[in-house]
Structure 1
Amino acid sequence: MQHQLSSGLTIESETIAFSRDVHGLAYYVRAEGPTSLLWRGEVINGHDQSRHPQGFSAPIGMPDSLSSAGAWHAVTDQMLIDRGLVAGNTVQWRYPSGVVFQAKYLNSTRLDGVLVLMTFDECSITAPSGDVLYDPSWGQFDLAVAE
């Protein structure tokens, strides 16, 4: 199964599901089983099933602190730096859905000039309900940017 995100990044996995709010809007994507991330039909270097053997997940939308950009495709490297996204810094983001994301920023991946992934360590993500969506003990977290 494949699902293409708004950034153009494609998730390929056995099962892909979305958590939705009371209005039916998706706020979190979860792929289960061995997962690959693709760009324009090709597996992104370092993001094959060996990197994501248990699956892949990501919050959907723009964190409040980046919302002034309007959309992920408009986020520049300077905007990231201005908002504290420098390697080793910890960020805490709240999404309009109520998802809370906290992690130590490591790096970003741009393909063809498009920001598609951001890699974090010590990541914790909680759902609007308070349920744990990602625990730091699960390892590095690759955030696929998607609206």
Structure 2
Amino acid sequence: MGVAIDSEIISTCEYSSGLQVSGLFTRLLKNSINKEIYIGTTGPTQISVNNKELDGHGISYHTEGFGSPVGPICNLMTPLEDATEYDLITLNIKRERVVHLEFVSGIEVIGVLKKIHKKLGKNVLMTFENCTVTSPTGDVLFQPEWGIYDMAVGIKISSVFSGSADKTNLKFIHLNQKKLQKKI
């Protein structure tokens, strides 16, 4: 993951759920054993599954970037991406309700759950309104004033590669941040 940041080119991180985040990675938080707990991009970002951009989640929507936790949820025995409707209900993870997700890493996500996006039988993305995301040290990673919060779902980052997942919809591949800002 650090290589994606150091490269200063468009890269893709794939979560264990199959969700792919493509953009210019600029943020990486790790825990004490050097595992990713939060990743973030700056500028236009694409969200895909199976190399196909999710409807409504291209660079025209995620214009400012994207950030999301990585890892398991406290008190959930099953990875969130594999959780059934019943698993979610038992933890009070219900649509149109305030949901408090506490990650084992200490990251917290609190907001009104609007939608759970499923692809290929997995929970891949959760959409929240009025959402606050904080780091284990209490730093604010997302606040309600910024709008809708889309949270990637995945217990780990399973792969990282250069370029975008859906090359039809995100064509710039080898642009550094300065060039990216000039081109768009």
Q: How does 1:1-147 map to 2 (within 5 A)?
A: 1-65=11-75, 67-69=76-78, 71-147=79-155
TM-score (norm 1): 0.91
- Whether contact under 8 Å (2:73, 2:80) holds in the other structure is no
- The alignment partner of 2:32 has SS state of coil
Percent identity over the alignment?
Answer: 28
| Distance across 2 between alignment mates of 1:72 and 1:87 | 15
CA drift at 1:95: 1.2
- Which runs of 5 or more residues in structure 2 are unaligned? 1-10, 156-184
Please report how far the alpha carbon of residue 68 of structure 1 lies from its aligned counterpart in structure 2 after TM superposition. 1.7
Structure number with greater Rg is 2
Q: Provide the residue aligned with 2:165 in structure 1.
A: none
Count of matched residue pairs: 145
**TM-score normalized by the length of structure 2:** 0.74
Structure-2 change in CA distance of 1:58 and 1:133 (3 Å)? same
Report runs of 4+ in structure 1 exceeding 6 Å deviation. none
For residues 48 and 88 of structure 2, what CA distance do their matches in structure 1 show? 23
Per-residue deviation, residues 100-125 of structure 1 (Å, max 9, x unmatched):
21111111111121110111111101
Specify which structure has the bigger relative contact order, considering alpha-carbon pairs within 8 angstroms and separated by 6 or more residues.
Answer: 2
